[in-house]
Amino acid sequence: MGGGRGRPFSLMPEIITVNQHHEVLPAWERCAVTCGRSPQVLTLDFHTDVLDCRKRGIELPETAATAVKLLHHDEHFDWALRKNIISRAVIIALSPCPVPPDHPMLEVRRNVSLPDMDTMLNDAENFRPLAETVLDDSFLAPLLTGDFPAGPYILDIDCDCVMCRKALSPRNSGIIRRLAQNAQLITLSAENDWVRILKLPGEEISGDFIAAELALLLGYPENAVHQK
């Protein structure tokens, strides 16, 4: 596994795990207070999570704690941007973006090598070689061009982007490890139900397992992840 030695554990950012993706919002809110400014977010996810939080006819929640109770339909990025908890979000997604994001500071990036949804979900053996690389430098490097991330940022990983165990042992892990080492906060969403649905045939993995293995990959000792 590539990537070399990183920062000592004592200097690494806090890493927490939640069950569902929108439950990261209180941690993001705390991070903004700690930073004294709204951080950016870099997310790895199977899905795109770009829905406008205003379009379900509910009153816009005032706090992250309230938002967690009300937002269950991929609106958490849009809400965090509108409440200035985060300043920008880039989502590296495996699935195509069904609709353009409504918020100008919300962007979805997708590796051009990825096939269509039908192939990913129904032709697993042809998709498997690429699924095994989603945390590898070869997959991530083309998606991290330009000025992002610049300034304080949160590294956020939804575990359903890992569809097979081999993806957790990338040949070259320098990029994902550097992203972790330089982040203000790392949030992991187990999403056990989605991992169960999306994992490739024959894979014995769960969201909780992936979160634990991701922490090790990023340079944390066992049991370093804080459950929220």
User: Cβ of 13: how many Cβ atoms within 10 Å?
Assistant: 18
Question: Alpha-carbon distance 161 to 210, whole Å?
Answer: 10
Query: Per-residue pLDDT tens for 194-211?
Result: 999 999 999 999 999 999
Tell whether the model's pLDDT for residue 94 goes beyond 60: yes
What does the pLDDT look like over 107-150, one tens digit per residue? Answer: 999 999 999 999 999 998 899 999 999 999 999 999 998 777 77
Helix (H, G, I), strand (E, B) or coil at 214: helix
Q: Residue 15 and residue 211: Cα distance in Å, rounded?
A: 10
Residue 88 pairs in a beta bridge with 40
Q: Give the ranges where 13-158 is alpha helix by DSSP (H).
A: 25-35, 64-70, 76-82, 117-122, 124-131, 137-140
Contact 107, 145 (CB under 8 A): no
Burial class (CB in 10 A: 0-12, 13-18, 19+), 118: exposed
Closest by CA to 191, choosing from 23, 66, 32, is: 23
pLDDT the model gives residue 25: 95
Position 1 pLDDT exceeds 50: no
User: What's the pTM?
Assistant: 0.91
Reduced to 3 states, what is the DSSP secondary structure of residue 17? strand
* Interatomic CA distance for residues 164 and 199, integer angstroms: 6
The predicted structure's pLDDT at residue 52: 85
72-91 per-position pLDDT tens digit: 778 899 999 999 999 999 99
Q: Which two tokens stand for residue 63?
A: 């706090």
Q: Which pair of tokens denotes residue 140?
A: 């991530």
DSSP helix/strand/coil, 162: coil
* pLDDT of residue 3 exceeding 90: no
pLDDT for residue 57 is more than 80: no
Consecutive H or E run containing 43 = strand 40-45
In three-state secondary structure terms, 98 is coil
d(CA 118, CA 191): 22
pLDDT at 185 over 60: yes
| Plot region of 36 (φ>0 → left; ψ -120 to 50 → alpha; else → beta) | left
